Amino acid sequence: MNNPAKPGGLLGDTAARDYSGKLRLFNAFAEPEIRRAIAGLGLTRGMRVLDAGCGTGETLGWLSGEVGAEGGVIGIDLAGAHVASARAMAPANALVMQADLTVLPFAPGSFDLVWSVNTFNHLRDPLAGATLAASLLRPGGRIALGQSSLLPDMYFAWDSRLERLVNEAVRQYYRDRYQLDERDLAAVRSLVGLLRAAGLRNVTAQTVAIERLSPVRPEDERYLVETIFRDSWGERLRPYLSGEDYEALERLCDPGHADFALHRPDFHFLQTFTLTVGEVSV
């Protein structure tokens, strides 16, 4: 377990932390790809599904549509603000609870599927979390772990140098902020091994591209500008870039500037989404 003495999640998650705005923007941005991933699971009516780390709850409705009124969906999240948002939009057959993924309040064999996106990489002990999740499955049940950005994203197709420097600056920022070595963040890349180590069988992985070209949808522009350009990058990267490179980044990220990246005719954005699925023994 990494840094067991530190409270909360590996990346600073606590019950009081609130990044619901970012979650809503990501769900609107990636909805087409995530809904296709859910449809590909072959869920049937009457199944029971746990959304572990449900965030603001958009996925609850998508999962509910697959299992129907006869089925049931339960969403859990550590953060109180996320739970409140999820409850406000949860469908009739979905229950939302505030709970810690490492101490789940459910009986063994409660679910046919545990679905979780961009969550297990926040755990200090991902294997313990996966093992616990597997214990909640009925015979033949599955865990489906989704992870965005398994491979480096492409933002500036025309400037790989600046993109590389920005990615390195982001990694250094996270190392400094959370006192982490890059190896502490390997759970993002280790979902296949994680499910196998937790005793699941028939593990599969499929990676799809979330690909956007200019002109982008309003949902895509909001996500990229607010979540990436402003919040993930922004002022906090200034100490990690040269003055010239930071100024170039500012121009590309500013919707009011003539160089704004998303309004360029050659804008081509690429992000990956990987879904890794494992099954418990029958």
40 phi-psi bin (left φ>0, alpha ψ -120 to 50, beta other): alpha
| 97 backbone dihedrals φ, ψ, rounded to 5° | -130, 145
Average pLDDT value over all residues in the chain: 93
Cβ-contact 271, 148 below 8 angstroms: yes
| Buried b or exposed e, range 55-73, using 16+ CB within 10 angstroms | bbbbbbebbbebbeeebbb
Residue with tokens 């990058």: 233
**Residue 4 confidence (pLDDT):** 36
Is residue 5's pLDDT more than 50? Answer: no
Model confidence, pTM: 0.92
Instruction: Calculate mean pLDDT across residues 247-257.
Output: 98
**Percent of the chain clearing pLDDT 70 (strictly above):** 97
- Tell me, what's the pLDDT at 8? 64
Q: List the domain boundaries for the chain.
A: 20-279
What does the pLDDT look like over 120-173, one tens digit per residue? 988 989 999 999 999 999 999 999 999 999 888 999 999 999 999 999 999 899
Closest CA to 195 of 263, 131, 282: 131
CATH architecture of 20-279: 3-Layer(aba) Sandwich (3.40)
2 pLDDT higher than 90: no
Q: How confident is the model at residue 1 (pLDDT cuts 50, 70, 90)?
A: very low
What confidence category does residue 246 fall into, taking pLDDT thresholds of 50, 70 and 90?
very high
Among 212, 194, 227, 188, smallest CA distance to 262 is for 212
pLDDT, residue 20, reads: 96
